[in-house]
A = this chain, B = another copy of it.
Amino acid sequence: MVRRFNRTVTQRVGALDDSYLARDRPLAQARLLWEIGPAGAEVAALRTRLDLDAGYLSRLLRTLEGEGLVVVGPGESDGRVRTARLTDAGRAEWDLLDGKSDELAWSMLEPLTAGQRARLTTAMTEVERLLMASLITIGPCHPGDPRARACLRAYTRELADRFDAGFDLTRSSVEDNELVPPAGLFLVASISTETVGCGALRLHPGEPAEIKRLWVSGSVRGLGVGRRLLDELERHAAAAGAGSVRLDTNRSLTEAMRLYRSAGYREIPRYNTNPYAHHWFAKTLS
C-alpha cells in the first residue's frame, strides 16, 4: 500500500515536478533558484535545506551569479554568513517557476469534478500531516545542547504568553544535571533538523518520578507528539524503578490537561509549591 503510493506519487507527480519545472536549466540550479526565493536566503540555510556540499553549492551560486540571476552579498550580522538575493532577472525567472508550479497544481486538479477536488485536497492534507508525524523522531538529548536550549526558549516564551501571571523559568528551575541519566532524562522531538517538542523526567528514588517541561510546537500539535513524549518518559521512569509518575500544570494549558487525562493520569492534591501550578496529576506505572 505504502509502496504503491510512493510509486504513484513520486513517479508520476514527482517526475513532472522536477524535470517539468526545471525548464531548460539543470535541476540543481532550478531548485536552488527556487529555494532562494524573493526574500533571499543565507547560504548556510540553503546548504542545510538542500543538503548540498559547500563547494558544490558555491559553484552553483557562481553560475547563477554569472547568469545575472542572483547576487551574493555580505550577511546581516555575522560577516561569515553570506546572503543570496535574486536580481530582477532572477525574480522574473523565479516567478516563471512559480507559475509553472501553479500550472502543475492546476493540471492535477483540472480534470476532476468539484467533489473529487475537495476529496483530493482533504486527503492530501491528511497524508501530509500524518507523514510529517511519522517523520518526527524522539530521542534523549543533554539539556545543555543547543536543540534543548531552543526548545526551552520556545517553551518559556509560550508559557509567558499564556499564563495570566507571566512566566519566569528560573522560578521553577531544575538544574541541568538533574535531567541527565541517571538522575533524570531530557527528550527532544525533532523533524529532520528542526526541533518540535521536548519533555523531561526527574527521578526521585523511593518517590514518584516527576515529568517536567513537556512542550510541543504549534506547528505539529495534534499529531500525537505529546503522547509519544509522555509514553517515552513513562517507559524510562518504569525502567528506572519508579512506581508512578506525577506532574503539575497551569490551568490555562487545557490541551495538556486533556492529554494527561486521556493518557491515564488522575488529578491529585497539591504536592509542591510551584507558583505557576493549579493542577496536579499522577499515574501509576504498571
Kindly supply a per-residue 1/0 record for chain A positions 222-233, scoring 1 wherever the CB is within 8 Å of any chain B CB and 0 otherwise: 001001100000
Q: What is the bound-complex CA distance between A4 and B219, given in angstroms?
A: 14
CA distance A127 to B56 in the complex (A): 36
Interface size, A (range): 35 or more
Contacts of A121 in B (CB 8 A): 1-2
CB proximity to B under 8 Å, residues A86-117? 101-102, 104-105, 107-113, 116
Instruction: Please provide the chain A residues from 3 to 51 with a CB less than 8 Å away from any CB of chain B in the complex.
Output: 3-6, 8-10, 12-14, 17-18
Flag if B136 contacts A108 (CB, 8 Å).
Answer: no
Task: Say yes or no: A13 contacts B112, CB within 8 Å.
Answer: no
Q: Please report whether the interface of chain A is mostly helix, strand, loop or mixed according to DSSP.
A: helix
Q: Please determine whether A17 and B12 come into contact, CB atoms closer than 8 angstroms.
A: no
**Contacting residues, chain B, for A228 (C-beta < 8 A):** 111
- Ordered by A's residue number, 28 sampled pairs between the chains whose C-beta atoms are within 8 Å are A2-B104, A2-B105, A2-B121, A2-B124, A3-B104, A4-B128, A5-B125, A6-B14, A8-B132, A9-B13, A10-B10, A10-B13, A10-B14, A10-B17, A13-B131, A108-B131, A108-B134, A109-B134, A110-B134, A111-B134, A112-B133, A112-B134, A120-B126, A120-B130, A120-B134, A123-B124, A123-B126, A127-B127
